[in-house]
Chains A and B, each alone.
Chain A
Amino acid sequence: MILAVDAETLRQLTVDGFFRGCSYGLLGVGFALILGVTGRFHFAYGFTYTFAAYMAFTFTFRVDLPFWPSAVLGVLVAAVVGAAIERLVYRPLAANAGPTALLAVFVAALGLGIAGDNLVRLFWGSETQAYFGPTKKAYHVWDTVFLNFDVWQAASGIVITILLALTLRYSALGRRIKATRVNPDLARTIGIDADSTYVICFFLGTICAGVAAIWYALKFTVDPAMGSSPIIYAFVVAFLAGTARSPIRVFITGVLVALIEQYSSIWLSVRWTQTAVFVVLVGYLTVLAVRSSAFAARFRRPIMRA
């Protein structure tokens, strides 16, 4: 098929894809950290995303705080909620469910997600609301257009990802997290407290979601259903990259997914682009299934030996 676009459009698509990808990447980094270390299928991740945006919104417009403090507070409150979900819901549930913990946590997370989104509706209303924070500015560089929010989003995404990678690489906390992820049984054997490590991962992972949510809210609006699409992307990116992989790799995968989405709009109508991503995903899973022995070794945690 012929490339039916000029260089200018291609550049704009690349720029759009990159900025969008920074959001996908950050979402994926947080989700992969949670799923990779704790094995919890945290579907309520989408709700914590929405919640962060709404909390920041509330701090700005109800408490009258300036934008930046409200954004930070909103993200932190959401992160505390994320950690609380692990501590108060998933942990007792998983301990109870034993071998079927994955499904039980998934169902509970679905329930929490539904309940959470609707609590947001109940308290803040169902309508979409504009979040007027800092002034929106557009930059024109090399025939492409993007916003100051785009730049901040990319910058914060890259900074958080690198900070997380450095933490995992060099700090004691990072060692603990990696140890729990690589070999949870041995981690327990040498006296590492897996429970608190899990809570920390939920806290950090939710921060990633929250930050992504703030930029989305500024660029577009806040609405109760704003988390339903990000959770899917978080999911897809984390799995495509491999949940046990370094944050940097996950982030780059997020950018690539967004670029695929953008470029596919060259050949496909815009409404097909999301489908294109999922077609890629189905293809990827099929390949994985075919090479399942290699794949099991790569992703599955070893079964604890009696």
Chain B
Amino acid sequence: MGRPETIDAPADVSPQVVLRVDQLQAGYGRKQVVFDVDLTVREGEIVGVLGHNGSGKTTTIRTILGLNPVIGGRIEFKGRDATRSSSRNNVKAGMAMIPSERFVFADLSVDDNLLLGAANDPDPERRARRLQLVRDLFPILVERAGQSAGTMSGGQQRMVSLGTALMASPTLLMLDEPSLGLAPAVVHQIFDTVRRLADEEGLAVLLLEQNVGQALRIVDRVYVMRSGRVILEESADEMRNRDSYWELF
């Protein structure tokens, strides 16, 4: 095992491709940190992006969302070109991202956090429906509605952040290391919720993880990144069957 290999994406023009990233180059100013990245995410699919710290995962999704400038390449979201669109427009169009750190508004109450997620939705009825959905997913958030998000446990904060993202009715959810600092049981619970959302609502998910074991429980397909490049793409089963992951990191 050793040579990085790439599998050609199936020759699909099927409508369910939510995100297609083509030869993305990105970075900060002249400091390029992402090179030639190709990614595809389909409806209802959870795609893992694995790799060590500093491998360019975070920069990739920040660029997809429009928080970092694109140096080269193309981003297509739901069939439309989203290469240069602002983060605000991307969020309106259905992208959501949860960063790996500082992912809640710590001084604000749980309810305020959730409502902020729907800030761009003018329809109060839909907002109420989404709020109900989020509360059904995470009943603990009803109990803690008035509590400052910053005073909650790590797992509960993750739930708040997931709820906030879901309030905007996203079609694509990008999660940056959601397992960081959480006990395995909590990670299980959160990941199971994400899997259910993908299966039941058709949510497309891009899951960035260093925690390969946890990620492999729910992903359909993985990319591995190193030094700003995708060095491998394979199915979750192929990945699970590997003896060791050391050589990928």
In the bound complex, do residue B58 and residue A186 qualify as a contact, i.e. CB atoms below 8 Å apart? no
A 201-223 to B, binary, CB cutoff 8 A, 1 in contact else 0: 00000000000000000000000
| Contact of A186 (CB < 8 Å), options: B90, B105, B119 | B105
A 166-209 to B, binary, CB cutoff 8 A, 1 in contact else 0: 00000010011011001101111111110000000000000000
With A and B bound together, what is the CA distance between A191 and B99 in angstroms?
13
| Contact of B116 (CB < 8 Å), options: A175, A302, A305 | A175
Counted as pairs of residues, one from A and one from B, with CB atoms less than 8 Å apart, the total is: 71
In the bound complex, do residue A191 and residue B28 qualify as a contact, i.e. CB atoms below 8 Å apart? no
In the bound complex, do residue B106 and residue A189 qualify as a contact, i.e. CB atoms below 8 Å apart? no
Is A141 engaged at the interface, CB distance under 8 Å to the other chain? no
| Contact of B105 (CB < 8 Å), options: A182, A188, A193, A305 | A182
**Chain B contact residues: helix, strand, loop or mixed:** mixed
In the bound complex, do residue A193 and residue B88 qualify as a contact, i.e. CB atoms below 8 Å apart? yes
| Contact of A176 (CB < 8 Å), options: B28, B119, B164 | B119
Chain A interface, number of residues (Cβ within 8 angstroms): 19
Residue of A176, A186, A305, A306 with most chain B CB atoms under a 10 A cut-off = A186
In the bound complex, do residue A182 and residue B106 qualify as a contact, i.e. CB atoms below 8 Å apart? yes
Nearest B residue to A180 by beta-carbon distance?
Answer: B105
Q: Given A182-B108, A186-B102, verify A191-B58 contact (CB < 8 Å).
A: no
Nearest A residue to B91 by beta-carbon distance?
Answer: A191
In the bound complex, do residue A192 and residue B119 qualify as a contact, i.e. CB atoms below 8 Å apart? yes
In the bound complex, do residue A306 and residue B99 qualify as a contact, i.e. CB atoms below 8 Å apart? no
Question: Shortest Cβ distance from B223 into chain A, in angstroms?
Answer: 20
Q: Given A186-B102, A186-B103, A190-B96, verify A172-B87 contact (CB < 8 Å).
A: no
Question: Shortest Cβ distance from B71 into chain A, in angstroms?
Answer: 15
In the bound complex, do residue B67 and residue A188 qualify as a contact, i.e. CB atoms below 8 Å apart? yes
In the bound complex, do residue A179 and residue B91 qualify as a contact, i.e. CB atoms below 8 Å apart? no
In the bound complex, do residue A186 and residue B115 qualify as a contact, i.e. CB atoms below 8 Å apart? no
**Of residues 108 to 129 in B, which have CB atoms within 8 Å of A's CB atoms?**
108, 112, 115-117, 119-120
Q: Given A178-B105, A182-B108, A183-B105, verify A190-B65 contact (CB < 8 Å).
A: no
- Which residues of A sit under 8 angstroms from B105, Cβ to Cβ? 178-179, 182-183, 186-187
With A and B bound together, what is the CA distance between A222 and B91 in angstroms?
49
Question: Shortest Cβ distance from A59 into chain B, in angstroms?
Answer: 37
- Which residues of B sit under 8 angstroms from A182, Cβ to Cβ? 105-108
Is B92 engaged at the interface, CB distance under 8 Å to the other chain? yes
With A and B bound together, what is the CA distance between A305 and B54 in angstroms?
12
In the bound complex, do residue A185 and residue B92 qualify as a contact, i.e. CB atoms below 8 Å apart? no
- Which residues of A sit under 8 angstroms from B96, Cβ to Cβ? 190
In the bound complex, do residue A172 and residue B88 qualify as a contact, i.e. CB atoms below 8 Å apart? no
With A and B bound together, what is the CA distance between A306 and B31 in angstroms?
11
B 76-108 to A, binary, CB cutoff 8 A, 1 in contact else 0: 000000000001101110001111011111111
With A and B bound together, what is the CA distance between A188 and B91 in angstroms?
10
Top 7 nearest A-B pairs (CB, nearest first) are A191-B91, A191-B88, A182-B105, A182-B107, A179-B105, A175-B112, A179-B116
CB pairs A–B below 8 angstroms (10 shown) = A182-B105, A185-B102, A186-B99, A186-B102, A188-B87, A189-B98, A190-B91, A191-B90, A191-B91, A305-B99
